[in-house]
Amino acid sequence: METSQKDSLQHHKVLVANRGEIAIRIMRACRKLGVAFTAIFTAEDAASGHVRYARENGGERSLFRVSSYHDANELMSVADQAGCTAVHPGYGFFAEDFRFARRVTKRDRKMIFIGPSWKIIRELGDKINTKRLARSLDVPTVPGSDRPIYDEMEAERIARSVFEFQVQQGIQRPLVLVKASAGGGGMGIEEVYDIDNFRSVYRRIRNYALRQFKDEGVLIEQRITDFNHLEVQIVSDRSGKNPVHFGTRNCSIQSTGLQKRVEVAPGFVPAQMDYSFDAAKVLQDIVHYSLTMARKVGYDNVGTWEWIVTRRGEPFLMEVNTRIQVENGVSARISSIRNHEGPVDLIAEQIRIGLGEPLGYTQDDVTFDGVGIEYRLIAEDPEHGFTPWVGRIERFSWKEEPWLTVLTHVPTDTPYEIPTEFDPNLALAIIWGKDLAEARERGVSFLDNLHLEGRNNAGEALKSNVAFLRANTARTLRF
């Protein structure tokens, strides 16, 4: 970064409104940029590495205890006490809450929300609205309604088109999802496998929606089960006019609950593997579509366009995540910007442009090298539905390598009690290789040299997903 740019950021102070490894990454990026920060923690998180990092690397008023990460009033109070000029929400918590983002920017003592503008969060955070926008730009979306349907005949027509699409895909047992549009949390959803039963199900869901949500609108959607999950990493400054991409990711290795466990960048490697479709064109297309949408809405920060790709190589936009994602590091590891040293730091870029700096480069300045694999190390039991494990980490260490980055809030020099209030995520391990074969080989080497031990209150040994990660490494980027 040029000195003049760094100097222009030094009057800012960022409230790191999150916890764990993402809080550490935000604080590190702030230090790199010469920006002061204030971190927060709850009583349950007192032993977290992000608390230690803030104490050791922050200045005056760099760490405050709060009762909850979910209390917006408390966060605003801390920001005022610490003299913060901006808020970085990380991911989760308030990261995609447009009301929180709006409050940050419109309160009496205005601050900067380091993320997209609240209007863009609202626009792209609505999946129905996102689908409608995509279709207006001829961006392919999963067949189904792009608005609540109140007319039974129209609903049946859409349902039949969804069934026909699945038959064309060669799906043995087509189904359609009938959902209460005002619902959530899995409420008011039924699967229809026989189109002749559609009307009775539609009426049942419509009546349920009216009783429960006072809105009888119904969505008709398709569930695609045999697909790869790809993502496109988009970055754009506050002008919203010059978005660039930092490549693609493949996040298809997931838990039974469809939670990501392994991410690989790029999303396919057509030069190294054979696919039954034109994988290079798929990557080119989803990047093009994602940038088209970003330009249309004037997207102005760091976000991800999520796609599903069928076995026939057909891409469909699933949703847009307007926030920084957990897996941004694996995209950053294989990306570089001309005249910048080393791999890009996407969180530093997010902070820099969030605070008003121009992007300062074009797509021609972005280059890619090698393959990255990111493992999510979690205390869970994959053999029993990925059930979270609760207990004490007694040993956590790994063999340092130049091709390895481990991001963690878990102390490695003292035992650590996993807080029961949060997901038992332990670390992210990012492996780089010159190609997929080398990245896989190095990934297995990392896992084999990892020491992760612990006990719960019953004296039972720690359960983790390390064996699951190792077993699935060989199938990365395979369809």
Bridge partners (DSSP) of residue 431 are 373, 404
Distances (CA, A) of 354 to 9, 339, 347, 348: 11, 21, 10, 10
- What are the backbone dihedrals phi and psi of residue 45, each rounded to the nearest 5 degrees, phi first? -100, 15
Q: What is the DSSP string of 304-316?
A: EEEEEEETTS-EE
- Decide if 94 contacts 19 (C-beta within 8 A): no
| Catalytic (active site) residue 376 | no
How far is the C-alpha of 124 from the C-alpha of 130, rounded, in Å? 5
**CA triplet 255, 328, 133: central angle to 5 degrees?**
85
Q: Determine which one of 25, 103, 122, 323 is catalytic.
A: 323
* H-type alpha helices, 191-345: 198-213, 279-297, 328-333
Map residue 374 onto helix, strand or coil.
strand
Q: Among 463, 302, 453, which Cα is nearest to 382's?
A: 463
DSSP letter assigned to residue 193? S
Question: Cβ contacts of residue 375 below 8 Å, gap of 6+?
Answer: 261, 262, 428, 429, 431, 443, 446, 447, 469
Map residue 100 onto helix, strand or coil.
helix
- Decide if 86 contacts 105 (C-beta within 8 A): no
How far is the C-alpha of 208 from the C-alpha of 180, rounded, in Å? 8
For 294, how many CA atoms within 13 A lie in the half-sphere containing its CB?
32
Q: Is the peptide bond before 266 cis (omega within 30 degrees of 0)?
A: yes
Burial annotation 136-173 (CB, 10 A radius, 16+ → b, else e): eeebebbbbbbebbeeeeebbebbeebbebbeebebee
- Decide if 342 contacts 311 (C-beta within 8 A): no
Active site residues: 323
